[in-house]
Structure 1
Amino acid sequence: MREHDIDPSARERRPRGKRRFDDDETPFLKHGRQPRPASVSDDGDPDHPLVGDRWSTWDQAIHGPEPYPDWVVTELAAQDTELGVLKTGKEADVHLVRRAVPDTDRSCLLAVKRYRAPEHRLFHRDAGYLEGRRVRRSRETRAMAGRTSFGRQMIAGQWAAAEFAVLSRLWEIGVSLGTVAVPYPVQLIGTELMLEFIGDVDEGQAAPRLAQLRPEPDELRGLWEQLVDVLVVLARTGHAHGDLSPYNLLVHDGRLVLIDLPQAVDVVANPQGAEFLARDVRVVSTWFAARGLPAELTDPAALTGQLLREAGLR
């Protein structure tokens, strides 16, 4: 019988090329990890979650300090849903995101800070803040110094990494002292920083900024004392906020919460560190004095001197 007399449908159709020994293995054995559930979303994409806008990125990220707070959702089945923009800023925008495991009560509200692409950032006076920060490879150092496209992307990554590191350190110190004055840093992935949402989690209403409040005298004094404690802790770690003002201090249930720390300055390594620290003190002292706090409490020179001593610079 000649080959062309054979029914074509009866022939065995073999794949082109050499057969791999693992062609019959399931995907998770080939790639070393279990795949996401194979549900298909409304847009027909099997990799897109049915409910949220994306799958949780917890397994791809750098995580905050352990032990993780109970409210942090770490399950890989969780999905992230975008709820809107909380704030726009000079170098980043902050979005409200709910991370939840479908069909369970596991859910948390997160403030997600996304640093803008270099060409869309509005904050360009970054040279002074970056002094004292080092990267390992000379190519990256040159690119950052020359503000090339790659260098600007490196700087954006440094902002996110620096903020994550400072928040993690302050959180750990706050836990040990019993007074946490920063949002918990949930995770860092690239230039996206996920943080504890400070405010009414049921309503999705962010806590007010200090600048929005008109505290009574007793409350004003209490907030000042909290602020001094926070600045002392920062100084003892060798840092100044670098851009401190009543607009990056939140007040939630009587507690002062420090936010927006990407420009945190190493006051020892940065030649301008003492100047940044003094400016931080001057700005907040002026605000509290204008609200009626006695001048002897808000003396910026006295507080600056105290903080420099705490940092070991005097």
Structure 2
Amino acid sequence: MPKHSKTRIRGLDADDLEWLAANPEPDPDLPPSGDRWSTWDQSTPTERGPKPHPVWLVTELAAVDTELGILKTGKEADVHLLSRAVPDTDRACLLAAKRYRDSEHRLFHRDAGYLEGRAVKESRMNRAMAKRTSFGMRLIASQWAQAEFSALCRLWELGLPVPYPVQIVGTEILQEFIGTSDGFAAPRLANVSEGLESLWEQLVEAMVRLAHEGLAHGDLSAYNLLVRDGRLVIIDLPQIVDVISHPTGPDFLDRDARNVATWFASKGVTAADPDTLATLLRREARLP
């Protein structure tokens, strides 16, 4: 029988490995450009913002999400700037992606008071959250993300000045980017020095409407209020408190009033008085 020569298979040398590292095979699950396909279809209708959706919002499934940088870091979550655009069209929008930290990070350093009244049905889950196990921390992250998204939806429908809540996927909340069309974020109230009398009036109106619904922001300050074109926008709402059902709800209402009124008073707004605002809010919330 004729002898058949064996084909010698050459192993990859250093040049081959270097070329492969520089020219990786494209991932078929990723778009040709950008960082991921739009996650719009990953949210159920109840995990999307209120209808009608704003005309600026890109909901096409052919859209691509591109990371543009980080807007804000915090102990509980980071906020990233995201562009969602349909390739080769003029359909594009900027979104703020708030991503709650996973269980490897220190979560919710002041959450104990806020979590009262948010117990889940399963005792195993409640024990895990109380003990801050890895599973419990993931539950807390999910609970806070859901609480913030629900609060944004509710307040948006009430006509309060909050970013439009686009969607929630796991512990990521996508919401309207408050800033310029070229990606510059609106300043925090703490960094604004003009038009403070008008901003104070806007804030009192918003807080009164919140109190009328039996709600308090829970952590309101000059650092979680944005100012865009002379208008206030309230952000950071995971800890929103039902002042009627929460054991210490009135205290949260008083603290919000004290924090913001003291700041405005320090800037020369004579109408800003903590006690007067607290009394007004308690009366609006029908509290003693």
TM-score by length of 2: 0.88
Residue 165 of structure 2 corresponds to residue 185 of structure 1: yes
CA positional deviation for 1:153: 0.8
Distance in 1, matches of 2:25 and 2:240, equals 43
CA positional deviation for 1:298: 1.6
Amino acid at match of 1:301: D
Q: What are the within-5 Å matches in structure 2 for residues 215-294 of structure 1?
A: 215=194, 219-294=195-270
Superimposed CA distance per residue, residues 56-76 of structure 1 (whole angstroms, 9 cap, x where no aligned partner): 111111100111000111111
RMSD: 1.4
Select 1:301's aligned residue among 272, 275, 281: 275
Select 2:185's aligned residue among 201, 206, 219: 206
CA contact (8 A) 1:92 1:121 kept: no
- SS in structure 2 opposite 1:160? helix
Distance in 1, matches of 2:107 and 2:191, equals 24
CA positional deviation for 1:148: 1.8
Select 2:35's aligned residue among 38, 43, 53: 53
Greater gyration radius: 1
- SS in structure 1 opposite 2:190? helix
CA contact (8 A) 1:42 1:50 kept: no
Distance in 2, matches of 1:310 and 1:162, equals 23
Superimposed CA distance per residue, residues 175-231 of structure 1 (whole angstroms, 9 cap, x where no aligned partner): xxxxx4110000001100001001101x2000000101112xxx2111001001111
CA positional deviation for 1:234: 1.4
- SS in structure 2 opposite 1:119? coil
Amino acid at match of 1:166: A
Select 1:145's aligned residue among 122, 130, 151: 130
Alpha-carbon spacing, 1:238–1:118, altered in 2? closer, same or farther (3 Å): farther
- SS in structure 2 opposite 1:199? coil
Superimposed CA distance per residue, residues 116-169 of structure 1 (whole angstroms, 9 cap, x where no aligned partner): 012313532211011122323222222222222111111111111111111111
Alpha-carbon spacing, 1:82–1:153, altered in 2? closer, same or farther (3 Å): same
What's 2:65 paired with?
80
Equivalent pairs, count: 263
- SS in structure 2 opposite 1:214? coil
CA positional deviation for 1:42: 6.7
- SS in structure 2 opposite 1:261? coil
CA positional deviation for 1:115: 0.4
What's 1:13 paired with?
none
Alpha-carbon spacing, 1:42–1:74, altered in 2? closer, same or farther (3 Å): farther
- SS in structure 1 opposite 2:139? helix
What's 2:6 paired with?
none
Residue identity over aligned pairs, in percent, reads: 66
Distance in 2, matches of 1:88 and 1:122, equals 13
Amino acid at match of 1:293: V
> Any unmatched runs of 5+ in structure 1?
1-40, 175-179
> Any unmatched runs of 5+ in structure 2?
1-22
